[in-house]
Amino acid sequence: DLNEREKHILTERRLTDDPKTLEELSQVYGVSRERVRQIEVRAFEKLQKAMMRLAGERRLITA
């Protein structure tokens, strides 16, 4: 599960037509650009794992 900060960063960086910069988000959260990047990467990895888990469950159901 993604926490609110992870959801917000992932949404603002990857799911909008006008993505926010690392700098903009670093100012929102009071952390460095690098920390925002790390949070984004971790959140994206969590999302990928969840999608893989769902895909695996669907294969088991339809098999």
Task: Note the pTM of the prediction, 2 decimals.
Answer: 0.85
Q: Are 8 and 36 in contact (CB under 8 A)?
A: no
Give the pLDDT of the chain (63 residues) as one tens digit per residue.
Answer: 899 999 999 999 999 999 999 999 999 999 999 999 999 999 999 999 999 999 887 777 665
CA proximity to 36, closest of 21, 17, 18, 15: 21
Domain that holds residue 28: 4-62
Give the separation between CA 41 and CA 27, rounded to whole angstroms: 18
- List the CATH number of the domain containing 33: 1.10.10.10
Task: Look at residue 59 in the predicted model and tell me its pLDDT.
Answer: 77
Number of domains in the chain: 1
Q: Are 13 and 20 in contact (CB under 8 A)?
A: yes
Helix (H) / strand (E) containing 61? helix 33-62
Task: Look at residue 63 in the predicted model and tell me its pLDDT.
Answer: 58
